Structure 1
Amino acid sequence: MNGTAISHEHVQGSFELHVVSTGAGDQATFVKVAKDVWPWVDYIHIREKQLTWQEKVDWAESLRGVGVPFCRIVINGSELNSQNENYGGVHWGQEAIRNYNNDVLSNVQRLRLGVSVHSMDEAKIAEEQGADYLFFGHVYSTNSKPDLEPRGLNALAEVCRCVSIPVIAIGGIEPGNIHAIRSAGARGVAVISNVWASDSPDRAAASLRQAIVGTESLSR
């Protein structure tokens, strides 16, 4: 992208921007886009369910090779071990949280743990079991879930009220709805197609970051 990226340090408690991989298994495209967008985002998620854990680690190493800091990389899965504690975190789906046990949690206890939830009950359980933040969605209509009704802002607000940990909204996120999402109590957003399907992923990420910065004064 032309111009200079907005300089921002991730500060715990700030409104976060997460970019999640598509699950398409295209490592070359993933690495290329991640290289372009990481200066604008807080976390890049490797969410490729078809890959083995070692293959996900290889993707993470590829990101490091193009300059993405390890602290910005989140790997989806529960196989993480103590040798991988330098990543920005690990993210679990509902299958992992249902299979939760102390041995699994001990492997991620020094990392930031995120969990995807779709209801208040799931949110409360995830918080009780040690999640540091939640993904909740899908909030708006999204091409990735064309046959499912969006859960909407009211449901997002209810989940935000029922837990004390940060809730990150996902699903149909665009710059124009950042203010509404923040007003509902969310502490961040996560995007997939908004960035990956864009002709200019860096511009898409920059637009999201600029929308977030534009709401900073409104939240004070």
Structure 2
Amino acid sequence: MRLPIPCLTLITDRRLCEGLSLEEAVAQAVDGGVNVVQLREKDLTAAQLIPLADRLRAITEDKALLIVNTHLDVALVCAADGVHLPERGPSVAAMRRLAGDGFIIGRSVHSAEEAVRAEEEGADYVQVGAIFPTRSHRGLPAAGLALLKSVAAMLAIPIVAVGGITAGNVEQVMRAGAEGAAVISAILDSSSPGAAARRLAEAVSEAAVPARRRRA
């Protein structure tokens, strides 16, 4: 199993969904072009996450990958496609021994050095950010496009940009070396998650071809 390229990842935050359940918002987003759903509900325990993960698995089945943040046990129980690890968390090698070779393992990184280390550990992709200012990580300074460019020059594995990304600036991150973008509020804070996802997916797709040519 591999990350789709280009990828548009929706990171979940059920608190942003107004007038819709998280499941309804995710379903609309997937129909709009999201091809990776990353379950990230940090206030829920593993036991609380499992039924939610099961429902999201049913929504994403044959339509999008499902990645679970941190909780490998939840990911395995709900037959997710992978797990996403925080910058300071379990080693990729340890997760690989438990999950097997066909399981996607990604890691959040905030520097080129961390990105290189993640690739050396065997990560399938890195999520790099925060590229632009973002409400989800208020204490984290924006790294800017320079970080993406430096990571792209060093890594062979896919790079997913995260942090303050919108349909208006996603072309910049793709052209800076990202193979995809991960968003939260750009979709979930919209009155129409499906339409927001469609705009982002179109922008990602349009920017992806010249970006891949440049890195080839």
TM-score range, shorter chain: 0.7 to 0.9
Partner of 2:70: 77
Taking structure 2 as the reference length, the TM-score comes to: 0.84
Residue correspondences, number: 207
Q: Which has the higher contact order (CA 8 A, sep 6+)?
A: 2
Structure 1's 206 and 90: CA in aligned 2 closer, same or farther, altered over 3 A? Answer: same
Partner of 2:136: 144
Amino acid at match of 2:42: K
Q: In 1, distance between residues paired with 2:191 and 2:167?
A: 16
1:204 and 2:196 correspond:
yes
Partner of 1:35: 27
* Structure 1 residue ranges without an equivalent (≥5): 1-9
Partner of 1:3: none
1:123 and 2:95 correspond:
no
Structure 1's 198 and 133: CA in aligned 2 closer, same or farther, altered over 3 A? Answer: same
**Correspondence for 1:90 among 64, 83, 91:** 83
Q: In 2, distance between residues paired with 1:94 and 1:74?
A: 16
- Which segment is superposed worse, 173-182 or 82-91? 82-91
- Which segment is superposed worse, 163-172 or 78-87? 78-87
Partner of 2:45: 52
Partner of 2:54: 61
Partner of 1:114: 106
Q: In 2, distance between residues paired with 1:122 and 1:146?
A: 21
1:179 and 2:176 correspond:
no
Structure 1's 114 and 59: CA in aligned 2 closer, same or farther, altered over 3 A? Answer: same
Structure 1's 13 and 104: CA in aligned 2 closer, same or farther, altered over 3 A? Answer: closer
Taking structure 1 as the reference length, the TM-score comes to: 0.83
Q: In 1, distance between residues paired with 2:191 and 2:106?
A: 29
Structure 1's 51 and 147: CA in aligned 2 closer, same or farther, altered over 3 A? Answer: closer
Partner of 2:186: 194
CA contact (8 A) 2:50 2:78 kept: no
Q: Which runs of 4+ in 1 moved over 6 A?
A: none
Q: In 1, distance between residues paired with 2:191 and 2:94?
A: 43
CA RMSD of aligned residues (A): 2.6
| Sequence identity (%) | 29
CA contact (8 A) 1:16 1:187 kept: yes
Structure 1 residue 182: Cα displacement: 1.3
1:15 and 2:32 correspond:
no
Name the SS of the counterpart of 1:131 in structure 2.
coil
